[in-house]
């Protein structure tokens, strides 16, 4: 993630609210899209980067957002993507909501930098992206009604329990996953969104060649088979994860997840280490992956020194890199006029 600079010269990181050097108020200005310090001038607050008068996002009152708008009493454009928030009566609800919103904003800023949907104008208009953050509930019969994290027709639903690190680790171990994070959930589910809103409309045949035709594989049957039998023994030859073997939709979503992991690492490396990596839509995807893997190997060794998990645990075979290259190519594709208002199948 790109950093910003405080007026005192100190570096500003993504979740910083106050400068540790000069105590200045920090936030993201929606007018210039910068992480910046803010100055109080009389009765008003102004962005130190662009000078615009800045008003805190409404969600600032709950401690879940530190963006600032030109408009008074408004949600920032990133908080506007959330349709449903959890009830705030429980003590830990706000903390969980804040963690999930932080992951969501990190995702949206990354998509914005890359030029991926929903920031392709026609995609946002015809296939809007929304989020719902929900909790498991007990119905009137005393039965537990569980919330399933997933995507359907542009709505990404996240179970609030995923913001609990203990719950998340138990699920990771139970499902045999190499890692399980909030940003990982966001990137995986937005992979389904990109599949539904973009890939299936701009380059369907290439999608079928690489991932298979999802319409020819019953999803429910594929899911049952995956959890009963597990992945094929040689899954790593063609898939980025064991879960990706379940169905073409999951293969694509997992590939998008890893592509976003890779580009996030590259962005941070360019910002903090002054590395020269081409992240443009016309960049050579294979070269980008190769350069990031060099970083991954080094940082993973630091992680191992501290008993932590590898930075990027997925295996990237030549077949997987070809799929990653396809995902990369979607950033520079345009929509045929006759497809502009066509609604894809539900996913």
Segment 88-110 shows an average pLDDT of: 93
pLDDT 10s digits, 208-265: 999 999 999 999 999 999 999 999 999 999 999 999 999 999 999 999 999 999 999 9
Residue 179 is given by DSSP the state: -
For residue 120, pLDDT over 80 is answered with: no
**Structural domain boundaries of the chain?**
4-76, 80-339
Cis amide leading into 142 (omega within 30): no
For residue 144, pLDDT over 60 is answered with: yes
pTM score of the predicted model:
0.93
What is the C-alpha to C-alpha distance for residues 49 and 296, in angstroms, rounded to an integer? 33
> Which pLDDT belongs to residue 214?
95
> Which pLDDT belongs to residue 341?
45
pLDDT 10s digits, 184-194: 999 999 999 99
Confidence of residue 336 (pLDDT cuts 50, 70, 90): low
What is the C-alpha to C-alpha distance for residues 231 and 334, in angstroms, rounded to an integer? 35
Nearest to 65 by CA among 39, 33, 97, 25: 97
Confidence of residue 344 (pLDDT cuts 50, 70, 90): very low
Q: Which residue has the tokens 């049957």?
A: 221
Confidence of residue 342 (pLDDT cuts 50, 70, 90): very low
> Which pLDDT belongs to residue 340?
46
What is the C-alpha to C-alpha distance for residues 262 and 286, in angstroms, rounded to an integer? 11
What is the C-alpha to C-alpha distance for residues 298 and 229, in angstroms, rounded to an integer? 35
Confidence of residue 343 (pLDDT cuts 50, 70, 90): very low
Residue 115 is given by DSSP the state: T
């Amino acid at each position: 993630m790109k950093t910003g600079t405080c007026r005192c010269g100190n570096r500003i990181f993504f979740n910083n609210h106050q400068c540790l050097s000069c105590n200045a108020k920090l936030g993201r200005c929606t007018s210039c899209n910068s992480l910046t310090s803010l100055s109080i001038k009389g009765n008003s607050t102004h962005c130190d980067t662009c000078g615009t008068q800045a008003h805190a996002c409404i969600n600032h009152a709950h401690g879940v957002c530190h963006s600032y708008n030109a408009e008074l009493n408004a949600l920032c454009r990133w908080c506007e993507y959330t349709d449903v928030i959890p009830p705030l009566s429980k003590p830990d609800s706000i903390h969980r909501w804040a963690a999930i919103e932080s992951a969501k904003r990190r995702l949206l800023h990354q998509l914005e930098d890359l030029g991926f949907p929903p920031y392709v104008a026609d995609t946002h208009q015809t296939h809007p992206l929304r989020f719902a953050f929900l909790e498991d509930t007990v119905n009137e019969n005393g039965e537990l009604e569980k919330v399933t994290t997933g995507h359907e027709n542009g709505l990404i639903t996240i179970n609030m329990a995923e913001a609990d690190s203990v719950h998340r680790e138990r699920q990771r171990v139970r499902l045999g996953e190499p890692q399980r994070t909030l940003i990982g959930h966001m990137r995986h589910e937005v992979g389904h969104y990109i599949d539904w809103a973009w890939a299936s409309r701009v380059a369907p045949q290439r999608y079928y060649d690489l991932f298979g035709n999802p319409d020819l594989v019953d999803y429910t049957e594929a899911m049952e088979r995956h959890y009963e039998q597990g992945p094929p023994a040689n899954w790593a030859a063609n898939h980025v994860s064991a879960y990706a073997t379940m169905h073409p939709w999951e293969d694509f979503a997992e590939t998008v997840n890893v592509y976003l992991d890779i580009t996030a690492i590259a962005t941070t490396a360019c910002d903090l280490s002054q590395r020269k990596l081409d992240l443009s839509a016309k960049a050579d995807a294979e070269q980008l992956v190769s350069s990031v893997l060099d970083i991954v190997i080094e940082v993973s060794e630091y992680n191992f020194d501290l008993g932590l998990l590898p930075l990027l645990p997925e295996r990237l075979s030549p077949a997987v890199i070809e799929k990653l290259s396809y995902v990369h190519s979607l950033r520079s594709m345009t929509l045929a006029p006759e497809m502009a208002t066509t609604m894809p199948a539900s996913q």
